């Protein structure tokens, strides 16, 4: 594939004004639909988000030939996130030329530059800013998701559609997309419905892709459980027996690049799951044992989550809160977020023993943090002045 300048782009990509007129400007015949259906229900009516995807009409675009794009040139979208930064570090360690798409922000992502990556400013909610970031890129790795204060559809649906259509029009060679395990089984949850719809949009786009569904990150457990236990603060949990197979984001990043280099993984939908699925109570018990102290657990019944979600639906300005509570409700239900990994390990040529377990991850964390606390305490005693 050849790189190109903005001047060589098709008019619908090169013109910011056309892009501003709507997400469909990138491909007017492939416009995604977000339709709000009303269905009769006892006690009144209910609204459900229904997304209809049709990417089959995304037409291939001829772009003028230029300097060949190197297979090692990648764009990481969402590079400052929990997973994105591990993808960047892994890519740099493996010798890739890494460009990071980062939204303009008050605190610049200087740590990415310090690592050796190139940082470009763009915003998925402003499609006219996307094409320039793709010039000279071979592979896009999409780790992005919307911020908590944003409507879910702005980045996770409309922004992703614009990015995918730009990638198709500019001849990107490979598109890696991170999704959520079991997203196809929960159409009542807007975030999961959008993830599933985005999967279908990519599959119909004609791009060479890898879709990776994830269950949960180990890193998220530090702020949720480990730190509050150490600081003797409340730990929030539910009374549901949900089980999640957490995986270290470093392992996710490593497996991602193995899959990118494996031709057998092309146009595959893979699920990455950790060695074992854990309930919330099991995670808390493990943290208590490693920390050497009991947790102050505050349990939120699933029924409260359901009631709160229904209550927020009454007010337009809280609809996005309700959408996120819907996702929380799924995570707090009798669901198992895990998947057999034997076939995936075999496909990728990976030894299951090389995947970090949650016990080892948390043990390393608590060992390091408790050692630091002990050292700080010792230093404090050495500097005490007695009169």
Which of 32-41, 200-209, 274-283: highest mean pLDDT?
200-209
Of 248, 138, 153, nearest to 194 by C-alpha is: 153
How far apart are the C-alpha atoms of 112 and 89, rounded to whole Å? 9
Nearest to 120 by CA among 171, 81, 76, 177: 76
Cross-strand pairs, 297: 235
pLDDT digits (tens, 9 = 90+) for 6-26: 433 433 343 333 333 333 333
What pLDDT, in 10s, does the model give residues 159-193? Answer: 999 999 999 999 999 999 999 999 998 887 888 89
Percent of the residues in the chain that have a pLDDT greater than 70, as a whole number: 70
Closest CA to 155 of 200, 198, 187: 198
3-state SS class at 203: helix
**Lowest-pLDDT range of 146-155, 252-261, 290-299:** 146-155
Share of the chain above pLDDT 90, in %: 57
| Lowest-confidence region among 7-11, 93-97, 132-136 | 7-11
The torsion angles phi and psi of 75, rounded to 5 degrees, stand at -115, 125
Q: How far apart are CA 304 and CA 299, in angstroms?
A: 10
pLDDT score for 189: 82
Tokens standing for residue 385: 């002045």
Whether this prediction's pTM lies above 0.85 is answered by no
* Domains in the chain, CATH or no CATH each: 68-214 (3.40.50.720), 217-246+274-338+356-386 (3.90.25)
Interval 321-338: pLDDT, tens: 444 445 555 655 567 889
| 279, 243 contact by CB (below 8 A) | yes
Residue with more model confidence, 375 or 151: 151
**pLDDT confidence of residue 242:** 83
């Amino acid at each position: 594939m050849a790189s190109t300048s903005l001047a060589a782009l098709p008019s619908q990509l090169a013109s910011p004004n056309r892009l501003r007129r709507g997400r469909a400007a990138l491909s007017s015949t492939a416009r995604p639909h977000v339709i709000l259906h009303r269905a009769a229900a006892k006690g009144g009516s209910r609204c459900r988000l229904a997304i209809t995807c049709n990417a089959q009409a995304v037409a291939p675009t001829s772009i003028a030939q230029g300097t060949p794009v190197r297979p090692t040139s990648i764009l990481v979208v969402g590079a400052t996130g929990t997973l994105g930064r591990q993808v960047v570090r892994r890519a740099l360690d493996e010798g890739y030329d890494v460009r990071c798409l980062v939204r303009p922000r008050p605190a610049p992502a200087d740590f990415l530059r310090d690592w050796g990556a190139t940082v470009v400013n763009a915003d998925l909610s402003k499609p006219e800013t996307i094409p320039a970031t793709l010039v000279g890129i071979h592979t896009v790795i999409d780790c992005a998701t919307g911020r908590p204060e944003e409507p879910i559809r702005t980045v996770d649906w409309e922004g992703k559609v614009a990015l995918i259509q730009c990638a198709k029009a500019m001849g990107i060679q490979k598109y890696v997309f991170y999704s959520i395990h079991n997203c196809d089984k929960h159409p009542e949850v807007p975030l999961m419905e959008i993830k599933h719809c985005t999967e279908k949009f990519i599959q119909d786009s004609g791009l060479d892709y890898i879709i990776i569904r994830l269950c949960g990150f180990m890193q998220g457990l530090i702020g949720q459980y480990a730190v509050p236990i150490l600081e003797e603060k409340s730990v929030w949990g539910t009374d549901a027996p949900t089980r999640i197979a957490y995986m270290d984001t470093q392992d996710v990043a490593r497996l991602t690049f193995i899959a990118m280099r494996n031709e057998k993984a092309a146009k595959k939908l893979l699920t990455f799951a950790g060695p074992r699925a854990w309930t919330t109570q099991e995670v808390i018990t493990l943290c208590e044992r490693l920390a050497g102290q009991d947790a102050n657990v505050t349990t939120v019944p699933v029924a409260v989550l359901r009631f709160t979600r229904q209550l927020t639906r009454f007010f337009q300005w809280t609809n996005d809160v309700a959408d996120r509570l819907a996702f929380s409700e799924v995570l707090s239900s009798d669901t198992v977020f895990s998947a057999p990994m034997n076939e995936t390990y075999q496909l990728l040529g990976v030894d299951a023993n090389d995947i970090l377990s949650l016990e080892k991850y948390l043990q390393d964390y608590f060992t390091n943090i408790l050692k630091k606390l002990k050292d700080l305490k010792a230093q404090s005693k050495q500097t005490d002045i007695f009169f």
